[in-house]
Chains A and B, each alone.
Chain A
Amino acid sequence: MAGLSPPLRGRVGERGTTDAGVCGLPLSLTLPRKGGENPSADASLTKCNVLPSVVVAKDHNAILLHSIDEAAVRAGLSIGLPLANARAICPELTVYDADPAADLKTLNDIADWCDRFTPLVALDPPYGLFLDITGCAHLFGGERALLQIVTHALSRRGFAVSAAIAGTSIAARTLTRYTSGQIVADGAEATAVGPLPVSALGADAAVTIGLRRAGLKTIGDVAARAPHEISARFGADFTTLLGHALGRGDAPISPRKPLPDYIVEKRFPEPIATDTVIALTLSSLAKMLVAAMDRQGKGARQLEASFFRTDGAVRAIMVETGRPVTRPEMIDRLFRERLDALNDPLDPGFGFDLIRLAAGRTEIVVRQQRDLDTTVHDNDEISALIDRIAARIGGERVVVHLPLESHIPERATLALPAQHHLAAASAAAWPERVTGEPPLRPLRLFERPEPIKVPFASVPDGPPHQFTWRRALHAVVRVEGPERIAMEWWKQDGAALTRDYFRVEDAEGQRFWIFRDGLYESKLRDEEGRPVPANWYVHGLFA
């Protein structure tokens, strides 16, 4: 987890549920700590920091300690102390400013790393993560082993971690606040969280203080009261929270990413770094994925390859397809195109130890017998071509065009990604052209009309005799117009002006589509209130 602000802090709570949501695992990274609790803090980090360091944040115009490290705890500092007091206690303090954005990024990086254990990872800001490990724990040798893998790996990287597995997310989170490494069996949540102080619940400060004032010091004390007493005093939200902590009912976690339909992955005991091996791995994964999808008659519309580096960084690369993909070589080719075209190539660093291929969105494939009708085949080929181009240069760069109900020239067409709208575009109803008429609309249209200089017009609201566009003077020889196009007053709060369009041909034979922005007798005024003539623009070029 690169790029941390020096004193690491945070409490990452993770949890997962195994066996139909009966068991959960929260894992907590804790660096800010109050008093004497001392989870398995990383020794290397804290011991080399002999001088105490603190992170400060401004709260109501006071600079308070936001989080502190081990040495600072030993020096007698505590979270929430004003910085001035802390300096008085411990003059050799190293002070850092809090950076919540960097903290959140770090938390997200850790969550990326946690994706290797389960696809369901939820953030619990500011310092927590939930992992739903339903059906995943056995892949890592059981819950105990999984918990150890997670805590060891994170603490080796310099995080202080506190983790727990419990049936509900709130119970697991509550456990991580004061202990680490607990695994609570089904139905034993109440006894596990009972002895913990009420502050472990993570309720509002007002509620926590209120509970303490009422003499309810531990969660067990609160649970012993009748629920209606508690909710009358502290509100229904708190009762629900308490119920979840005690294992009665569960709040669903909200994972960061939607669960993919299919996942295949390959783990390497020895990290791999060469392009050949990566490509081979991807193609073998593609075969596995297709085999899995094929059993259920599915094809992938969206594929994501994730590369987990040994140092914890995760790179995810996504490709989308216009039609469900059912052939491994197609998947292989799409990823090859995408990887070739990356602006920042895949950096293996010290190697990848896990490569995963997931089908994020799948569709049922209707198998058709190939007949001699070539158009069906052609459509397949074209969508395959579009997929390949889109994989390399991006889906938004390959577009098809749809007509839009608007008479304003620059809004009459909609450009949409071809992958998703190819069928709609080939069935679109474009306005019929008038037979026998020369073109009424230009072939090239400027997205932003370009201003031109018009010296004078023979008739006040007529076309110009000459105009200057891009520093070249064009003498107008032929004119057709005006065609008056009023703006959509019902959409634009009356700001846009009516345009008078002229088709003009200059002495060289070039044809332009120019317009006067605003009617001749419009009430255009400059800043000092003097009337100004309407502006002229060139909007397009005719063939």
Chain B
Amino acid sequence: MNGARMGTLASLRGSIARIEAPSDATMPNRIALGHAGADAMLRGGLAPAALHEVFAAGHQSGAATGFIAGLAGRISARKPLVWVRQDFSDRENGALSMSGLAELGLDPRLLVTVRAADVDSGLRTAADALACDALGAVVLEIWGQARQLDLVASRKLTLAAQASGVTALVLRIAATAIPSTAETRWIVRAAHSPPGHAASVWGAPRFEAELVRNRHGPVGRWIMEWKCDECQFSEPSAHPQPVAAAPANRPHQAQARAGHRLAS
């Protein structure tokens, strides 16, 4: 398909989206995160074929990576994922571990990692990858305040994402937000596990996700939990680990025992 037709299609899509936008509370094609509060605020979920940014402080890289991996998992569970990383990010935050990714419920078989030497080649690779419509999502991970990732660069990424329908996720660690064309912008921190005995409990990953920018709606702040088995976000549970449900077809043990004692 040539560029002119692509451009026409994109503009048509845009006008259709504008026509449909105010009519309904939930937009079509939105990808629900699973967290009811956030989904309501985002009018149904995360917009595909757009740019989403996740920011985190330098020491919160683990949580931010988990959050963006969750977003990528929500967007494209069955389609290949391209993860573009700077070499420096590997050294600073550790490399992405495939067993860790599999533990979160994502499929390492669908991951292609690109190790870019610097920000420029990372940006160019991400823009290239976004043009390939066979992908589900493209994650661009950049460490530090990158001068190159300005309004022009994010506009390029957005246009590429709109043209191909691939979602662009940008993970910015140890960076401050500057104006961009992102659809949503999140600031992620790790959240406490639910209260419980100190040395016993260890639950699902929890994030304190703050939506600081939403192009088409209000912003908010939530504690989210990632359900590894269902591969979706959810409201935080009160218990760190699943609690066994009360048996439905069995009488209460105390009563049964009491009855037994009565009979004997």
Residue-wise interface mask of A (408-425) relative to B, using a CB-CB cutoff of 8 A (1 in contact, 0 not): 010011010010001001
Chain A residues whose C-beta falls within 8 Å of the C-beta of B99 in the assembled complex? 409, 412-413, 430-431, 441
In the bound complex, do residue A382 and residue B103 qualify as a contact, i.e. CB atoms below 8 Å apart?
no
In the bound complex, do residue B103 and residue A439 qualify as a contact, i.e. CB atoms below 8 Å apart?
yes
Chain A residues numbered 302-343 whose CB sits less than 8 Å from any CB in chain B: 341
In the bound complex, do residue B113 and residue A431 qualify as a contact, i.e. CB atoms below 8 Å apart?
no
B62 on interface, CB distance cutoff 8 Å: yes
B201 on interface, CB distance cutoff 8 Å: yes
In the bound complex, do residue B62 and residue A543 qualify as a contact, i.e. CB atoms below 8 Å apart?
yes
B90 on interface, CB distance cutoff 8 Å: yes
A23 on interface, CB distance cutoff 8 Å: no
In the bound complex, do residue A393 and residue B116 qualify as a contact, i.e. CB atoms below 8 Å apart?
yes
In the bound complex, do residue B116 and residue A445 qualify as a contact, i.e. CB atoms below 8 Å apart?
no
In the bound complex, do residue A438 and residue B62 qualify as a contact, i.e. CB atoms below 8 Å apart?
no
Q: How many Å from the CB of B149 to the closest CB on chain A?
A: 18
In the bound complex, do residue B114 and residue A389 qualify as a contact, i.e. CB atoms below 8 Å apart?
yes
Chain B residues whose C-beta falls within 8 Å of the C-beta of A393 in the assembled complex? 114, 116-117, 121, 125
Contacts known (A397-B115, A401-B111, A440-B103); A479 close to B199, Cβ less than 8 A: yes
Chain A residues whose C-beta falls within 8 Å of the C-beta of B192 in the assembled complex? 477, 505, 508-509
Stretch at the interface among B6-14, B64-72, B209-217, B245-253: B64-72
**Cα separation A455 to B99 with both chains bound (whole Å):** 31
**Cα separation A470 to B228 with both chains bound (whole Å):** 30
In the bound complex, do residue B190 and residue A540 qualify as a contact, i.e. CB atoms below 8 Å apart?
no
In the bound complex, do residue B228 and residue A433 qualify as a contact, i.e. CB atoms below 8 Å apart?
yes
Which secondary structure dominates where chain B touches chain A? Answer: mixed
B37 on interface, CB distance cutoff 8 Å: no
Which secondary structure dominates where chain A touches chain B? Answer: mixed
**Cα separation A443 to B61 with both chains bound (whole Å):** 10
Chain B residues whose C-beta falls within 8 Å of the C-beta of A505 in the assembled complex? 192-193, 202
Q: Which of B90, B97, B199, B204 contacts A540 (CB 8 A)?
A: B97
**Cα separation A242 to B187 with both chains bound (whole Å):** 81
A399 on interface, CB distance cutoff 8 Å: yes
In the bound complex, do residue B191 and residue A445 qualify as a contact, i.e. CB atoms below 8 Å apart?
no
Q: How many Å from the CB of B252 to the closest CB on chain A?
A: 25
Q: Could you tell me how many residues of chain B have their Cβ less than 8 Å away from some Cβ of chain A? A: 68
Residue-wise interface mask of A (506-543) relative to B, using a CB-CB cutoff of 8 A (1 in contact, 0 not): 00111100000000000000000000000000001111
In the bound complex, do residue A385 and residue B128 qualify as a contact, i.e. CB atoms below 8 Å apart?
yes
Chain B residues numbered 220-249 whose CB sits less than 8 Å from any CB in chain A: 226, 228-229, 240-242
Chain A residues whose C-beta falls within 8 Å of the C-beta of B101 in the assembled complex? 443
Chain A residues whose C-beta falls within 8 Å of the C-beta of B134 in the assembled complex? 377-379, 381-382, 385
**Cα separation A472 to B102 with both chains bound (whole Å):** 30
Please classify how large the interface on chain A is, using the bins under 10, 10 to 19, 20 to 34, 35 or more. 35 or more
Q: How many Å from the CB of B12 to the closest CB on chain A?
A: 22
Chain A residues whose C-beta falls within 8 Å of the C-beta of B61 in the assembled complex? 444, 541
Q: Which of B104, B109, B116 contacts A426 (CB 8 A)?
A: B109
Q: How many Å from the CB of B33 to the closest CB on chain A?
A: 15
Chain B residues whose C-beta falls within 8 Å of the C-beta of A389 in the assembled complex? 114, 125, 128-129
Q: Which of B65, B96, B204 contacts A438 (CB 8 A)?
A: B204
In the bound complex, do residue A540 and residue B198 qualify as a contact, i.e. CB atoms below 8 Å apart?
no
Q: Which of B65, B108, B125, B202 contacts A430 (CB 8 A)?
A: B108
Q: Which of A385, A433, A444, A509 contacts B189 (CB 8 A)?
A: A509
A82 on interface, CB distance cutoff 8 Å: no
Q: Which of A399, A433, A478 contacts B103 (CB 8 A)?
A: A433
**Cα separation A341 to B59 with both chains bound (whole Å):** 34
Residue-wise interface mask of B (40-67) relative to A, using a CB-CB cutoff of 8 A (1 in contact, 0 not): 0000000000000000000111110111
Q: Can you list 5 A-B contacts with CB-CB less than 8 angstroms, sorted by A residue number?
A: A377-B134, A389-B129, A392-B121, A509-B192, A511-B62
- Which are the 10 A-B pairs with shortest beta-carbon distances? A543-B66, A541-B62, A378-B134, A444-B94, A439-B103, A443-B100, A445-B97, A509-B190, A543-B205, A480-B202
A439-B104, A503-B202, A541-B93 given. 8 additional CB < 8 A pairs? Answer: A382-B80, A401-B113, A437-B228, A444-B95, A444-B100, A470-B59, A472-B59, A541-B62
